[in-house]
């Protein structure tokens, strides 16, 4: 596992910001894999910078479990120091994914749609959930309750935080601007669905305390919310889920 962790973390070095990036480039790829004679569709919202090999392994895993899979890959620039463009990127993702899911459900007659969000993918999941007419369950792996707070505190996003701060923004400003991106502000959408949360105790990318707070807020309105905690860090917890 240590080699796999090192391979992933090697891809998490110094994100480059491209002034030519636009929100309609937020989705870099989408793949639908159908299993015949199944009524189950799982929609996967990957982690930021999630390697293609890992998303492919997760896709195969879900298919072995009997689910058709709608798998996305997101542009690394969905998080950058242009905070307005970040909002636009997630809104583009939400509209595009909701449209894709509706089309697949209509064409293939899926009866059950499950949503799986990994790390920052949980932000996209919550926004998309609000736009779907129907879904069944939600799984969030290593999430946080607030994107702004996670970016501000996370080790992985220190360069981003410093760049945003240099533009004159404080954490309170960012929380206000990104209020619509905070999972804690989408709890009403999830309160009538089974929700599974998996946290990483030693998470330095999205602090454990933020994920725990999300669980507490969800549990207060949704008794069908469960939480398990890995004793590992962010990357190792994801790797242990994708087996």
Q: What local confidence, expressed as pLDDT, does residue 172 receive?
A: 98
| Gap between the Cα atoms of 76 and 67, Å rounded | 27
Q: Which sign, positive or negative, has the C-alpha torsion 167, 168, 170, 176?
A: negative
Q: What local confidence, expressed as pLDDT, does residue 31 receive?
A: 96
**120 φ, ψ (degrees, to nearest 5):** -65, -20
Q: What local confidence, expressed as pLDDT, does residue 161 receive?
A: 97
Domain ranges within the chain, ordered by starting residue: 2-8+24-241
pTM reported for the whole predicted model: 0.91
Contact 204, 234 (CB under 8 A): yes
Contacts of 214 (CB under 8 A, 6+ apart): 140, 143, 144, 145, 183, 184, 197
| Gap between the Cα atoms of 39 and 71, Å rounded | 17
Q: Are strands 138-141 and 40-45 parallel, antiparallel or unpaired?
A: unpaired
Cα angle for residues 92, 95, 96 (degrees, 5° grid): 80
CB atoms within 10 A of CB 189: 18
**211 φ, ψ (degrees, to nearest 5):** -70, -40
Tokens of 191: 């309160």
User: pLDDT per residue over 180-231, tens digit each?
Assistant: 999 999 999 999 999 999 999 999 999 999 999 999 999 999 999 999 999 9
| Gap between the Cα atoms of 56 and 60, Å rounded | 6
- One digit per residue, the tens of pLDDT, for the chain of length 243 reads 434 434 444 444 444 445 589 999 999 999 999 999 899 999 999 999 999 999 999 999 999 999 999 999 999 999 999 999 999 999 999 999 999 999 999 999 999 999 999 999 999 999 999 999 999 999 999 999 999 999 999 999 999 999 999 999 999 999 999 999 999 999 999 999 999 999 999 999 999 999 999 999 999 999 999 999 999 999 999 999 998
The architecture in CATH of the region 2-8+24-241 reads 3-Layer(aba) Sandwich (3.40)
């Amino acid at each position: 596992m240590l080699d796999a962790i090192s391979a992933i973390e090697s891809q998490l070095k110094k994100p480059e910001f491209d002034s030519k990036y636009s929100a309609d480039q937020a989705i870099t790829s989408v793949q639908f894999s159908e299993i015949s004679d199944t009524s189950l569709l799982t929609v996967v919202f990957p982690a930021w910078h999630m390697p293609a090999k890992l998303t492919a392994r997760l896709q195969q895993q879900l298919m072995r479990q009997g689910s058709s899979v709608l798998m996305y890959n997101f542009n690394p620039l969905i998080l950058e120091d242009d905070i307005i463009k970040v909002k636009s990127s997630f809104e583009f993702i939400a509209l595009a994914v909701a449209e894709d899911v509706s089309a697949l459900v209509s064409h293939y007659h899926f009866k059950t749609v499950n949503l799986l969000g990994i790390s920052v993918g949980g932000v996209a999941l919550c926004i998309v959930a609000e736009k779907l007419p129907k879904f069944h369950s939600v799984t969030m792996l290593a999430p946080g309750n607030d994107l702004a707070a996670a970016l501000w505190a996370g080790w992985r996003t220190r360069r981003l935080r410093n760049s945003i701060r240099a533009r004159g923004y404080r954490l309170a400003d960012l929380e206000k601007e990104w209020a619509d991106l905070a999972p804690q502000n989408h709890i009403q959408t999830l309160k009538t669905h089974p929700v599974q949360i998996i946290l990483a105790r030693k998470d330095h990318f999205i602090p454990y305390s933020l994920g725990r707070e999300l669980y507490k807020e969800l549990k207060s309105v949704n008794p069908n919310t469960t939480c398990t905690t890995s004793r590992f860090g962010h990357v190792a917890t994801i790797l242990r889920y994708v087996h």
